[in-house]
Structure 1
Amino acid sequence: MTALVAVGTHVPEGRVPVEALAERFELTPMQVRVFRRYHKIGQAAHAPSASLADLLRAALADLALTGEQAARVRYVLYARTFPVVVPYPHNPLHDVCRDAGLGHAQAFAVGQQACASGLLAIDLAGRLLEGEPDALAVVLTGEKAFTGEAQFVPETSMFGEGAAACLVSASGDRDRLLSYVARLRGEFDGELEEVAGEFQRIYHDALGEAVTAAVAKAGLEPADIAVILPHNVNVVAWQRTCKRIGYPLDRVLLEHVADYGHVFCADAFVNHRTAVARGLLRPGDRYVVAAAGAGRGATFAAMVFEH
């Protein structure tokens, strides 16, 4: 059974406030206030002097792989939101792997499900490791907000810069994957302005259904879930989703939304580290990791783990 061996994260100290984006994105003072007071997003993590490679290296350093673990890593999966994350022809993934002593591993990107690609990468890593009990995989996440589209989602969210690295094994004693559900919605394959209205209309029901389906697939009830580790889009989205599925909002870890912003596919792992550090997860607790992605269609996904 797929398991998370360890999680490393890096969120830079710098922040960009929503007010700093007002002129570029033609935000009115009222729209700025809505972001702060309604969506509960005031700023996002920002590292202007750090490259994408720097962010990924920092997350890998925090993962603190031993030499023995590094030698066992067969696959490195880079889960990303956008198809292009650095200007052509740069591709820092292989440089990062080489610098971390992972140059021998097969490294490739996973991005078909946008912001839900981190969950897809965990599932794919587990599948690749089937039949290889001694092998390991690393899932990398995190991007630079280097374009307007990668920095701001109108009326929805701000992207934050940061990264995470997750060490995955085919089995383990903790953070075992109990179920995975991904709902693909191809009807949202179109220009953002053409599909945004309908996407927002079905968003909360679709995400809630993915969460409840994953919980049921694990043979559990919502009351059995100790905490939900969300993607950090905004607080209102989770208020509405929790209302639809009857889950207590105070058991959704939302504290990083206002400070970090939506750190692309790294949200799940950043929130995991916080949940462990704060003692929100005890041995045997079941928890949900959830995410939604929009781009080349839409994906609503959820995983259930046992800590």
Structure 2
Amino acid sequence: MGGVTTLERIESFLPERSVRIDDLAGSLGLRRAEVGVFRKIYGLDRLRFDPGTGLFDLVLPAARRALAALPAGRRVDYVIYAHTMQTLAPPHIDAARVIRAKLGLHDAEAFALTQQACVSSLGAIDLAGELLRAEAPEGAYALMVTGERAYSPKVQLIPNSAVMADAASACLLTVGGPGDEVRSYLTRTLGAYAAGLEMTPQEISAFGQDYATVLGEVIEESVRRAGLSFDEIDLVIPHNVNAVSWRHTIQRMGADPDRFFLDNIPLYSHCFASDVFLNYTTLRERGRLVDGGHYVLVSVGLGATFGAMVITHREGGTP
């Protein structure tokens, strides 16, 4: 099975319950001044957070909507659950297999991918395309799903960076279809920061100094590998970590801030591996995805992996 990876349907899901970051200050141990910093400097305001929503209740709605675009007579060969945190369920529960079963995709191979943290969703798309080309029959599909809950204060707060929120997404993809064409995918991992949340103050400072430069380089290189110039990119569709990190990156790149979609940061905050797809569906609903337009999906994962994927939107492929 040859050809280019195409994204046939992207969906996202948000719990209805919306809270302000002020409402979480007590559980996260944030002082009033720290909340003020998150709000005024990092650009955070509200987020979706519902402790009563189970993991699979969060993941399945977007997955079901994406599967509705599967053409009659076609099959899904792979279900890939991409998530940020390594542990999301008790050891005896294989979440990817549970998702497969609940979706009725019993003949699909199901597995999880998490090693690149919040970039894992983009990595899962790249991997799914390689698997489809290498071993799947003509016309086969893969389903990539995301979604994880900020189930404790320890995983909900990234100090001096982000407050994590609940969301999920799904992407139905194939090879050589009419959907959005994947033009390039690039990652860069800085292993010096592998400790993530356990980094020392010195490592955190160094990571902050490297962040904007490396992220800008990854975006620009992904665009070059797609055979494009940055002037040909309609929008960068990023993760929602915070506004100040993106302002620094944009400044370091010397780019136009209007080319970066940051509207959802104060509305939804950072949603693990789901951000770029949540932002994609927001843009689609607003009519801002142009047929033939070029977009860069971008995320950064603790550990530290920087990832960027360039796609060309095809209006007829993703209604």
| Equivalent residue letter for 1:174 | G
The count of residues paired between Structure 1 and Structure 2 equals: 305
Q: Counterparts of 2:84 and 2:131 in 1: how far apart (Å)?
A: 21
Determine the structure 1 residue equivalent to 2:306: 300
The answer to whether the 8 Å contact 1:8/1:166 transfers is yes
Moved over 4 A (4+): 66-71
Matches within 5 A, 1:1-307: 1-65=4-68, 68=71, 71-131=74-134, 132-190=137-195, 192-194=198-200, 195-294=203-302, 297-307=303-313
Identity over aligned residues, as a percent?
35
Shift of 1:97: 1.5
Q: Counterparts of 1:249 and 1:193 in 2: how far apart (Å)?
A: 30
SS of alignment partner, residue 198 of structure 1: helix
| Equivalent residue letter for 2:80 | L
SS of alignment partner, residue 40 of structure 1: coil
SS of alignment partner, residue 83 of structure 1: coil
SS of alignment partner, residue 176 of structure 1: strand
Shift of 1:69: 5.6
Q: Counterparts of 2:85 and 2:47 in 1: how far apart (Å)?
A: 18
The answer to whether the 8 Å contact 1:53/1:93 transfers is no
Relative to structure 1, is the Cα distance of residues 70 and 252 closer, same or farther in structure 2, using a 3 angstrom cutoff?
farther
Gaps of 5+ in 1: none
Q: Counterparts of 1:151 and 1:70 in 2: how far apart (Å)?
A: 42
Moved more, 27-36 or 66-75: 66-75
| Equivalent residue letter for 2:163 | M
Q: What's the Cα RMSD here?
A: 1.7
Q: Counterparts of 1:234 and 1:70 in 2: how far apart (Å)?
A: 43
SS of alignment partner, residue 187 of structure 2: strand
Gaps of 5+ in 2: 314-319
Q: Counterparts of 2:67 and 2:276 in 1: how far apart (Å)?
A: 19
Q: Counterparts of 1:152 and 1:70 in 2: how far apart (Å)?
A: 45
Q: Counterparts of 2:239 and 2:283 in 1: how far apart (Å)?
A: 14
Shift of 1:187: 1.1
Shift of 1:150: 2.1
TM-score normalised to structure 2 length: 0.91
The answer to whether the 8 Å contact 1:10/1:62 transfers is no
TM-score normalised to structure 1 length: 0.94
